[in-house]
Amino acid sequence: MDFRFSDDQLTLTESVRDYLSGTHGPEVLRRLDEQGNRDPAIWQGLVEMGLTGLLVPEEHGGLGLGLVEAALIAAECGRACLAEPLVDTAFVAVPWLVHQGDTDGLQAIAQGTRTVPLPHVLNPWVADGEGQPLQSVDPLRNLAMFSASGPADEHLLNLGALMSAAQLLGLADAMLHQATEYAKIRTQFGQPVGAFQGLKHQLASCAVAIEFAKPVVWRAAQALQDGVTSAATHVSHAKLAAGDAAIQTAETAIQVHGAMGYTYEVDLHFWMKRSWALCGAWGDRAFHVRRIDEAVLGGSLPIGPEHTFA
């Protein structure tokens, strides 16, 4: 029993975080917002980091890593509010294709020449796919109506929900950081507004919610990676905890920014709108509450102190 990441996992995460914070700041989001949303140069950078091949088995030209690594990187994508379809293709489609035994196109994904927009019966539209365009509140999310109904595959749903949860953690972290930094520099009544307890306590409550959502997501990633029978419940728990933390943080962050928070000029809205989108995607809140309910109240999951890792 050891609930820690390995040094390799931490090093990988840190390198992705550093790369994105250095190359993918808010100015990039603004440029994309004005100039067409996708940039082949950003995608190429992700390919060169090896991220498109993170979960592709080594014999198909990838790194052959697992869902825990993918969840850690997905959180970094959320932190950077990355718009490129990396998570959908590399962390949701790839493990699903591998699971299906469909390995033909994996090499092309690893090389960055193929993206796989995946529909699911719960998502009537796909991001970065073909079809009639739909406008999302998230200006960097390119939605298209999917012509046929997607599969009802549970594993696919779990992968999509897990990776959404991981992104939501990163989004929440980033919004808390933005709000905190703003509260340090904005002065009113002769002092930084962050010195007022009214704001301090709201921000501290966000820190609590995020802190306790994190291990739920990591545990879900490990459970899905290990194929434990209760993995679906843990994925739903992750989506619920991370989604609630992100929404709480988004609302607090806009409040902390005051009227500035209500402008398009402040960066916060990109992260907030991505959070709204991901909270509803891959099973909305009601869906995931119901899945936990069925396991916990329905009695299929053993509960109690001796069943922490059931």
Partner 1 sequence: MELHYTPEQEAFRAEVRAWMEAHVPKEPLVTLECREGYDQHVAWERTLASGNWGMVTWPEQFGGRGLDLIQWLIFEEEYFRAGGPNRANQNGIFLLGPTIMEFGTEEQKARFLPPMARGEVIWAQAWSEPGAGSDMAAIQSKAVRDGDHYVITGQKTWSSRAAFADWGFGIFRTDPDSKRHKGLTFILFDLNSPGITRRPIRQLHGDTGFAELFFDEVRVPVENCLAGEGQGWNVAMATAGFERGLMLRSPGRFQATAKRLVELYRAHEAEASPAAREAVVQAWGAAQAYAYNTYAVASKIMAGGKIGAEASLNKIFWSELDRSMHRTAMQILGAHAELKRFGNGQINQWLEGYIFSLSGPIYAGSNEVQRNIIAERLLGLPRVGAG
Beta-bridge partners for 133: 144
The one segment of 24-32, 101-109, 194-202, 246-254 that binds partner 1 by CB under 8 A:
194-202
Return the residue of 158, 222, 249, 252 that touches partner 1, per CB under 8 A. 222
Return the residue of 98, 122, 144, 195 that touches partner 1, per CB under 8 A. 195
Q: In the chain, what is the straight-line distance between the N-terminal and C-terminal CA atoms, in Å?
A: 13
Return the residue of 40, 212, 229, 262 that touches partner 1, per CB under 8 A. 212
What's the alpha-carbon Rg for the chain, to the nearest Å?
Answer: 19
Give the nearer residue to partner 1 in terms of CB position, either 36 or 299. 299
Could you say whether residue 10 binds partner 1 (CB under 8 A)?
Answer: no
Cα dihedral sign, 26-30-36-37: positive
Could you say whether residue 3 binds partner 1 (CB under 8 A)?
Answer: yes
- Beta strand 187-188 with 142-145 is unpaired
Return the residue of 194, 243, 261, 283 that touches partner 1, per CB under 8 A. 194
Cα gap 235→163, rounded to integer Å: 9
The count of chain residues that interact with partner 1, using the rule CB under 8 A, is 52
Q: Which amino acid is at 197?
A: Q
Are 167 and 75 in contact by the 8 Å Cβ rule? The answer is: yes
- Beta strand 133-135 with 187-188 is unpaired
Beta-bridge partners for 135: 142
Q: Which residues contact 286 (CB under 8 A, 6 or more apart)?
A: none
Return the residue of 20, 77, 126, 241 that touches partner 1, per CB under 8 A. 241
The one segment of 136-144, 162-170, 271-279, 291-299 that binds partner 1 by CB under 8 A:
291-299
x-or-dash pattern for partner 1, window 170-189, by CB under 8 A?
------x---x--xx-----
Could you say whether residue 258 binds partner 1 (CB under 8 A)?
Answer: no
The one segment of 16-24, 83-91, 154-162, 217-225 that binds partner 1 by CB under 8 A:
217-225
Return the residue of 133, 211, 263, 264 that touches partner 1, per CB under 8 A. 211
Residue 88 sits at the vertex; the CA angle it makes with 55 and 31, to the nearest 5 degrees, is 120
The one segment of 32-40, 80-88, 107-115, 235-243 that binds partner 1 by CB under 8 A:
235-243
Could you say whether residue 205 binds partner 1 (CB under 8 A)?
Answer: yes
Cα gap 173→143, rounded to integer Å: 25
Return the residue of 10, 134, 152, 303 that touches partner 1, per CB under 8 A. 303
Q: Which residues contact 289 (CB under 8 A, 6 or more apart)?
A: 236, 240
Using DSSP's 3-state secondary structure scheme, residue 120 falls into: strand
DSSP 165-195: HHHHHHHHHHHHHHHHHHHHH-EETTEEGGG
Return the residue of 17, 38, 186, 200 that touches partner 1, per CB under 8 A. 200
Interacting residues toward partner 1 by CB under 8 A: 1-6, 9, 68, 176, 180, 183-184, 191-192, 194-197, 199-201, 203-205, 207-208, 211-216, 218-219, 222-223, 226, 237, 240-241, 289, 292-293, 296-297, 303-309
